[in-house]
Amino acid sequence: MTGLIATSQPLMDLATSLVASRNGRKSSAAKSAAARANGKKGGRPRKQTPDTSDI
């Protein structure tokens, strides 16, 4: 099965994407600490909306 996936580029891309997706969801002590530190800074900035009062 592994050899079949390795020879097909679309299947290899899919497998790489699935592995990256699963690894990105993993939580670690470092990720938790970074999230807390970023939260103390105020979190993600709000999305800017264009000013339409000039129209």
Tell me how many domains the chain contains: 1
* Residue 9, domain member (yes or no): yes
* Residue 24, domain member (yes or no): yes
User: What's the rounded Cα separation, in Å, for the pair 33 and 48?
Assistant: 28
Instruction: Walk along the chain (55 residues) and give the pLDDT tens digit of each residue.
Output: 667 666 788 888 998 999 998 887 888 899 899 989 999 999 888 898 887 776 6
Q: Which residues contact 11 (CB under 8 A, 6 or more apart)?
A: 4, 5
Residue 28 has, within 13 A of its CA and on its CB side, a CA count of: 6
pLDDT of residue 52: 74
**Residue 15 structural domain:** 2-41
* Residue 26, domain member (yes or no): yes
pLDDT of residue 37: 93
* Residue 20, domain member (yes or no): yes
pLDDT of residue 53: 73
pLDDT of residue 33: 93
User: What's the rounded Cα separation, in Å, for the pair 33 and 41?
Assistant: 13
* Residue 33, domain member (yes or no): yes
* Residue 49, domain member (yes or no): no
* Residue 47, domain member (yes or no): no
